[in-house]
A and B are shown apart, each in its own frame.
Chain A
Amino acid sequence: MSSGTSSSSSRVGHTAGAAESGRVPFSFARLRLIAGNTFLEAVRQKLFNFLLLLAVALVASAQFFREFNFGSSELKFIADFGFGALVFFGSTLTIATTAQLFFSEIENRTALTLLAKPIWRSEFIFGKWLGVFAVVGVFCAVTIGLLLGLLFYRENALMNLHPEAFEAGRIVNYADILLVGVLQWLKFGVLTAIVLLIASFSNTNLYTVVTGFFVLVICHLQYLARDAYGNIDNLLVRLPVMLISYVFPNFQLFNLADHAAQGAGVEYDVAARVGLYGLAYIAVMGGLAVYSFRNREI
Chain B
Amino acid sequence: MKFDLAAFRPLRTGLVVVAALTVAGLALRPVESPAWESLRADQPALKLDSIQGALGQGVTVGLLGGFRAIVADFFWLKTNSVWGDNDLPATQTYVHLVTAIDPRPLYFWLNGSRMIAYDMPNWRIQAAGGYDAVPQSVQRKFDEEQSAVAVDYLKSGLGYHPDEPLLYIEIANVYLNRLKDNATAAEYYLKAAQQPDAPHYAARIYAELLRRLGRNREAYDWLKKTYAELPKGGDASFTALPDVVLERIRELEQELGIPESEAYQP
Contact = CB atoms under 8 A, between A and B. Distances in A.
A72 B61 contact: no
B35 A277 contact: yes
23 contacts: A71-B105, A82-B66, A84-B68, A86-B66, A88-B67, A216-B63, A217-B62, A217-B63, A219-B62, A220-B63, A223-B46, A224-B54, A224-B58, A228-B51, A246-B25, A246-B26, A252-B58, A255-B39, A261-B66, A270-B38, A276-B31, A284-B24, A291-B16
Given A69-B69, A220-B58, A223-B46, 10 more contacts: A68-B77, A70-B105, A221-B58, A246-B26, A252-B61, A255-B61, A257-B66, A259-B42, A273-B32, A295-B10
A250 interface: yes
B32 A253 contact: yes
B102 interface: yes
Contacts of B31: 273, 276-277, 280
B66 A87 contact: yes
Contact of B66 (A81, A227, A259, A291): A81
Nearest to B10: A201
A71 B62 contact: no
A277 B24 CA distance: 10
Majority DSSP secondary structure for residues of A touching B: helix
Interface string A256-298: 1111010010010110011011001100100110011001000
B73 A247 contact: no
Report the interface size class on chain A. Answer: 35 or more
Pick the 9 closest A-B CB pairs, nearest first: A71-B105, A220-B62, A87-B65, A246-B25, A84-B67, A84-B66, A80-B66, A83-B66, A273-B35
Given A220-B62, A273-B35, A277-B32, A247 B18 contact: yes
A79 to B, nearest CB: 7
B108 interface: yes
Nearest to B69: A80
Interface residues of B, number: 53
Contacts, number: 170
A259 B263 CA distance: 48
Given A277-B32, A291-B16, A246 B22 contact: yes
Given A291-B16, A295-B9, A270 B35 contact: yes
A197 interface: yes
A158 interface: no
Contacts of A250: 32, 36
A98 interface: no
B62 A258 contact: no
A86 B65 contact: yes
B90 interface: no
A295 B13 contact: yes
Given A220-B61, A250-B32, A252-B39, A81 B67 contact: yes
B240 to A, nearest CB: 21
A221 B107 contact: no
Interface in B37-79: 38-40, 42-43, 46-47, 51, 54-55, 58-59, 61-70, 72-74, 76-77
A77 B74 CA distance: 13
Interface in B146-185: none
A251 B58 CA distance: 10
B250 interface: no
Contacts of B55: 221, 224
B159 to A, nearest CB: 15
A245 interface: yes
Contact of A220 (B59, B72, B74): B59
B128 interface: no
Interface in B10-37: 10, 13-14, 16-18, 20-22, 24-26, 28-29, 31-32, 34-36
Contacts of B74: 68
Contacts of A248: 21, 25
B28 A71 contact: no
A243 interface: yes
Interface in A59-91: 65, 68-72, 77, 79-88, 91
Nearest to A80: B66
Given A71-B72, A84-B67, A201-B13, A243 B22 contact: yes
Given A70-B105, A84-B70, A264-B42, A251 B62 contact: yes
Contacts of B68: 80, 84
B69 A84 contact: yes
Contacts of B63: 88, 91, 216-217, 220
B104 interface: yes
A71 B66 contact: no
B97 interface: no
